[in-house]
Amino acid sequence: MENVIIEGEEVNGVTYTTTKRTTKISVTHGKGVRQVLEGDNIIFDDEDANGLIIPHNDALVISLHINDSNVKRVLIDPSSSVNIILLRVVNEMQATDHDITNARSLSGFDNSSVVTKGEIMLATFTEGVVKDTKFPVVDADMSYNIILGRPWIHDMDAVPSTLHQ
């Protein structure tokens, strides 16, 4: 409950008790605050930036353990509203075709679209955290094997930074 200071018997022509009741209702039924979880944090400092030419605007590219495979060239892209995996990578991981379901169309900002082969749910492993992640499967040429967008970043409670990479 927020503290509200109200003076006098009326506020904008409404009685004090009505105003107070309305204030309580609006505060009580507001959006809940997300609970912050205590846990291990990964923190980088200036020592981690030794050997880097700063400032830089390099993309955040990592390796990630997915299912039983170590996948390189994984782009962390906060501007992407979906996670994307290449069909070639799914085949190399030997995931079966029946795991891929629900083909759909993905649209870009320039109104271009790509029809996916479907979606697949894969387990991603990062420093003690395992998350089942849904990926649209794309049969296309990309510079990266996987693009992890806002859905994965949010699920991981992550704040991506390229400063110390």
What's the CATH code of the domain at 103? 2.40.70.10
**85 has pLDDT over 90:** yes
- The first and second tokens of residue 26, run together, are 């609006």
Domain total of the chain? 2
Domain identity same for 54 and 108: yes
Residue 101 domain-assigned (yes or no): yes
Which amino acid makes up residue 45?
D
Whose CA is closest to 144, among 83, 54, 93? 83
* Triad 75, 106, 67: Cα angle to 5°: 45
Find out whether 65 and 122 touch, Cβ atoms under 8 Å.
no
Residue 54 domain-assigned (yes or no): yes
Domain identity same for 78 and 115: yes
Around Cβ 135, how many Cβ atoms within 10 Å? Answer: 26
Residue 115 domain-assigned (yes or no): yes
Buried b (16+ CB within 10 A) or exposed e, 84-97: bbbbebbeeeebee
What is the chain's Cα-based Rg?
A: 23
Domain identity same for 82 and 139: yes
Rounded-to-integer distance, Cα 133 and Cα 143, Å: 21
pTM above 0.85, yes or no: no
Percentage, residues of the chain above pLDDT 90: 27
Can you say how many angstroms the Cα of residue 112 is from the centroid of all Cα atoms in its chain?
23
- pLDDT tens per residue, range 8-60: 555 455 555 554 554 444 444 444 444 445 556 666 677 777 777 776 677 78
Residue 70 domain-assigned (yes or no): yes
Look up the domain containing 20 and give its range: 1-33
Residue 163 domain-assigned (yes or no): no
Pick the residue with more confidence: 91 or 17? 91
Rounded-to-integer distance, Cα 33 and Cα 31, Å: 6
* 52 Cβ neighbours under 8 A, 6+ residues apart: 164, 165
